Amino acid sequence: MASLFRRNITFLVCDMAGTVINENGIIYNSLEKVLKNLGCNVTVEMKESWYGQEKKKVLIDALYDMDSRSMSDRNLKYLLGKAEHELENELNKNYFENGEIKGKKIGNVEDKQIKELVDGI
């Protein structure tokens, strides 16, 4: 919160994906891509069940379901860490580098300022 005040930001809007800002399913598409890269078979039904779930739970459930009989807790922790890192990179790329969503100016705050704020937290 201190970084908000240091930057003289007095108003912040937080949004659940797709509620206020149409982000075109970036989060769910990014989850799907990351899981497929790790060898998960992602179905349409699985993807639809992710809506509203905590993303870490989605990753754990999908990785565990990949092969629960042979996956040790250690391997699951490794894959989860890798998946979280890849998801963060994928979201950063899609939100800020590829311009897949168009941010809107809120008051006098531009997209660049929002990215700087997010990076500073």
Question: What would the pLDDT profile of 75-117 be if each residue is shown by its tens digit?
Answer: 888 899 999 999 999 988 887 777 655 554 444 555 555 556 5
| Residues sharing a CB contact under 8 Å with residue 72, sequence separation 6 or more, in sequence order | none
What type of residue is 11?
A: F
pLDDT (mean) for 42-70 = 86
* Phi, psi dihedral angles at 109 (to 5 degrees): -100, 120
Q: How far apart are the first and last CA of the chain?
A: 8
Choose among 21, 4, 43: nearest CA to 121: 4
What share of the chain has pLDDT > 70, as a percent?
A: 64
Neighbours of 102 (CB within 10 A): 9
